[in-house]
Structure 1
Amino acid sequence: MTAQLPPDFTQITRPRELSAELREQLVDCWVRVINTGGAVIPRGLPMPPVSTGQADPALGRLVGALDPRRARLLIATVGGRLAGWLVLRRDPHPLVAHCGAVNHVMTHPDFRGRGIGTALMGRVRELARQEMGLEQLQIAVRAGLGLEEFYGRLGWHEIGRWPGGLRVAPGDDRDEILMHLAL
């Protein structure tokens, strides 16, 4: 049995730091995650199947908002291959500047079941506190996929639900679950 390599992490904090090659890998990952049932469908993208041409502009909007003080892309690689990524954001308004939001958490389908999601969430916790000075994080997840249990094992707590707030398909409405993590 081969030992699994731990992931390496890279942060992208400005749009110009993202190479064309990495952008292509991020888009491919996002498309594959969505098309295999992942709950990372942002506003503006249709329900699966999603194409690269549809996901690329959505990634462009995320990357365009990157700023070291307000939004960062955290990327996990294993053996030089993209294994997963997420976005960490903070609202600059003084009332909530101590809080951050984690969005678009995804593990590449080729790396599922290898602890990449757990590693990403552990690293984002450190990044949020040590580098961005955040004191709390929030995440919204789709019910029905076991995500609240996953995040619960990592110390996150459910603080609210929007019953039926997400329509996955006609007749398939899911709760949107808001979770919180004190840092």
Structure 2
Amino acid sequence: MPLTFTLDPAVTPALRDGVLDLWTDVSLAGGAVGFVPPVTREEIRPELVRHLVAMAEGRTRLLVGHDADGRVAATAFLTFNTHRLMTHWLWLYTVMVHPRHQGQGYGRDLLAAAADAARTCEGIEAIRLTCRGGTGLERFYASCGYKEVGRVPGAIRVAPGDDRDDVFMLLPLT
């Protein structure tokens, strides 16, 4: 059964907790979403609060996918540029699909829904995102239409002696 996507949902305690649970579960499963295991909900919470503040300030929009049971199963945060020369594209952050739903095409569905959401934003012509090298994510994003446009070798240190590339990807919307 497909996910049901909502852009700019009301931020209720249930939604907040659902996103926090998703972020924790994805991180614990080894997902490249800003943390490495072991990590706790309480360690992730301040980063979620930063995203929620950006939403309240109108700088970020949340796209959330719910599964058939109504649980938060996927998210992506669309963040507008504040630099006056870069307002024609936005960032896609914290792209997550719950581990129990991976391999079912929901990641592709999430990226398609994010592109559709970006197209509703006035003046937005492209989406940029970054991903952690060495995880296969750049191949996945490329299969969804994104093009690698840059790479910073060793920019992400996930552990001592384990540095990964920071890979920049772009999806033109026009």
- TM-score above 0.5, yes or no: yes
Superposed displacement of residue 81, structure 1? 1.9
Of the three residues 153, 169, 173, the one matched with 1:179 is 169
Q: Is 127-136 or 71-80 further displaced after alignment?
A: 127-136
Q: For 1:78-99, what per-residue CA distance to the aligned partner results, in whole angstroms no more than 9, with x for missing partners?
A: 2112211010011133211111
CA contact (8 A) 2:147 2:169 kept: yes
Gaps of 5+ in 1: none
1:116 lines up with 2:106 in the alignment: yes
Q: Summarize the alignment of residues 15-94 of structure 1 with structure 2, pairs less than 5 Å apart.
A: 17-41=10-34, 47-66=36-55, 70-79=59-68, 80-94=70-84
Paired with 1:11 and 1:85, the residues of 2 have a C-alpha distance of 10
Letter paired with 2:37: P
1:158 lines up with 2:148 in the alignment: yes
Of the three residues 91, 97, 103, the one matched with 1:101 is 91
Letter paired with 2:3: P
Superposed displacement of residue 132, structure 1? 4.1
CA contact (8 A) 1:137 1:182 kept: yes
Q: SS of the counterpart of 1:65?
A: helix
CA contact (8 A) 1:83 1:116 kept: no
Between the two proteins, the alignment pairs up a number of residues equal to 172
Gaps of 5+ in 2: none
Paired with 2:163 and 2:45, the residues of 1 have a C-alpha distance of 27
Superposed displacement of residue 134, structure 1? 0.8
TM-score by length of 2: 0.93
Q: SS of the counterpart of 1:66?
A: helix
CA contact (8 A) 2:7 2:117 kept: no
Letter paired with 1:172: D
Instruction: Name the % identity.
Output: 39
CA contact (8 A) 1:102 1:138 kept: yes
Superposed displacement of residue 68, structure 1? 8.3
Paired with 1:89 and 1:132, the residues of 2 have a C-alpha distance of 13
Superposed CA RMSD: 1.6
Counterpart for residue 133 of structure 1? 123
Letter paired with 2:74: G
Counterpart for residue 147 of structure 1? 137
Paired with 1:132 and 1:56, the residues of 2 have a C-alpha distance of 31
Q: For 1:16-70, what per-residue CA distance to the aligned partner results, in whole angstroms no more than 9, with x for missing partners?
A: x2000111111111011111100001xxx6x421111111221111011115853
CA contact (8 A) 2:87 2:123 kept: no
Counterpart for residue 11 of structure 1? 7
After the TM superposition, which parts of structure 1 deviate over 2 Å for at least 4 consecutive aligned residues?
Answer: 67-70, 130-133
Paired with 1:7 and 1:168, the residues of 2 have a C-alpha distance of 31
